Amino acid sequence: MYEPERAVIEILKRNKIDVVSTLPCEKISALLRFVARDRAFCHVGLNREENGVGISAGVYLAGGKPLMLIQSTGLGTLINAVMSLSVAYGLPLPIIASWRGVYEENIEAQIPFGRSLPKLLDALELKYTIIEDASQIGLVETVIQDAFETERPHIALISPRAWGTDNAIEDDTAVQHQKTLRKLVYERELKKPEMSRYDAIRIMTEYLNEEAVIANIGVPSKELYAAKDRDLNFYMLGSLGQASPIGFGVSLKRKRETIVLDGDGSLLMSNILPIVAEKNPENLSVVCLDNGTWGSTGDQPAPYMDMELMAISAGIENTMRVDTEEELRSALEQLYEEAGPRFLHVVVKPGNATVENIPLRASQIKRRFVKAMLHHHTQ
């Protein structure tokens, strides 16, 4: 029983897949439970498919072998992240997708996208392999090997026919909501910000040593480059919302301290913090440079959220808010006194520094970051 599912698990192990990011589909529920139960894998339950792209990127950049396991509808939501991150930087990403809408589909809304999916993938020049039934399940290995050999995404579209009609499996992994008493008293005096984002970034670079740093898309990356370029900086050129997922993925594979320079808008888009809190990486610090705007696109106002309170509600226990240079320096000096994950809410003024574009291509940023991660003495 469950022979196709067990075959996939063995393929993943044989190919040394170590981090599997998933979102559920009833057609692959048995496979999902096998993955979650198996200690050979670090299993990351997602809340958005795009976050899986970022997490997988970080895992690979830190020397790991990621894979995503999702429903095919999720391919519609992660296209930009795949194209602007996985494809642009040349990052391997094998995706096992339960292909809905094409075989005995009883949900009408699944059909339009499912039927059009191969044409969409062709138009984007994304490699995919169709697996019609259990006899072809071995093609999953081809998908994985090709993704890593060619450093590109490769998608396995697997028909529900491959898993048979009964995909149910006894659930002994369900998480029950614990009835615990939580009392939160949160008082915060909101001050007028004094620093620009570039001021804050320049101050932070004074405290960098052997940390890996993931910088948010657009001007924040350019400001970090101008303040202090280093091989251990990963500059994002696209994929808004994926800075913290990438940093989270890096922290899953390395003990090296990892710092993310993220933004309020980006964090609101990704909603990654509950996943970070659940996995609880001790070496991850998320710095939210909160200017209240979409800074790289003209300083249009962003939706307001108290970002520190959002982190607390997500389950991050080590949080701090700073409004001044003095407070920022104090926070950085004591940053590692407690284990992560840490959330540092840095309130800054809107506006961008006048800095040059980063004179590095995506492939150069990737190669030097990977080399630095592998060769610097602090792992």
Full 3-state SS string of the chain: CCHHHHHHHHHHHHCCCCEEEECCCHHHHHHHHHHHHCCCCEEEECCCHHHHHHHHHHHHHCCCCEEEEEEHHHHHCCHHHHHHHHHHHCCCEEEEEECCCCCCCCCHHHHHHHHHHHHHHHHCCCEEEEECCHHHCCHHHHHHHHHHHHCCEEEEEECHHHHCCCCCCCCCCCCCCCCCCCCCCCCCCCCCCCCEHHHHHHHHHCCCCCCEEEECCCHHHHHHHHHCCCCCEEECCCCCCCHHHHHHHHHHHCCCCEEEEEEHHHHHHHCCHHHHHHHCCCCEEEEEEECCEEHHHCCEECCCCCHHHHHHHHCCCEEEEECCHHHHHHHHHCHHHCCCCEEEEEECECCCCCCCCCCCCHHHHHHHHHHHHHHCCCC
pLDDT score at 167: 55
* pLDDT above 90: percentage of residues in the chain: 82
pLDDT band at 177; cut points 50, 70, 90: low
193-249 tens-digit pLDDT: 899 999 999 999 999 999 999 999 989 999 999 999 999 999 999 999 999 999 999
pLDDT greater at residue 376 or residue 15: 15
pLDDT score at 17: 98
pLDDT score at 378: 46
pLDDT score at 193: 85
List domains and CATH numbers for the chain: 3-163 (3.40.50.970), 197-375 (3.40.50.970)
User: Tokens standing for 104?
Assistant: 């005995």
pLDDT for 181 beyond 60: no
Q: Which residue has the tokens 């060769």?
A: 375
Q: Which residue has the tokens 């003495």?
A: 377
96-100 average pLDDT score: 97
Report the chain's mean pLDDT, rounded to a whole number: 92
pLDDT band at 299; cut points 50, 70, 90: low
pLDDT band at 379; cut points 50, 70, 90: very low
329-337 average pLDDT score: 96
pLDDT score at 185: 74
pLDDT score at 376: 56
Cβ atoms 128, 121 nearer than 8 A: yes
pLDDT for 23 beyond 70: yes
pLDDT score at 305: 79
pLDDT score at 351: 86
335-361 average pLDDT score: 94
253-291 tens-digit pLDDT: 999 999 999 999 899 999 999 999 999 999 999 999 998
304-327 average pLDDT score: 93
pLDDT score at 244: 98
pLDDT score at 188: 74
115-131 average pLDDT score: 97
pLDDT score at 123: 98
Residue 36 amino acid letter: A
User: Tokens standing for 93?
Assistant: 């990403």
34-49 tens-digit pLDDT: 999 999 999 999 999 9
pLDDT greater at residue 115 or residue 185: 115
pLDDT score at 297: 65
pLDDT for 88 beyond 50: yes
pLDDT score at 166: 58
pLDDT score at 291: 86
Range with the lowest mean pLDDT among 57-66, 147-156, 192-201?
Answer: 192-201
pLDDT score at 178: 55
pLDDT score at 131: 98
pLDDT score at 252: 97
pLDDT band at 128; cut points 50, 70, 90: very high
Strands 66-71 and 19-22: parallel
361-366 average pLDDT score: 97
Cα distance between residue 182 and residue 199, in whole Å: 37
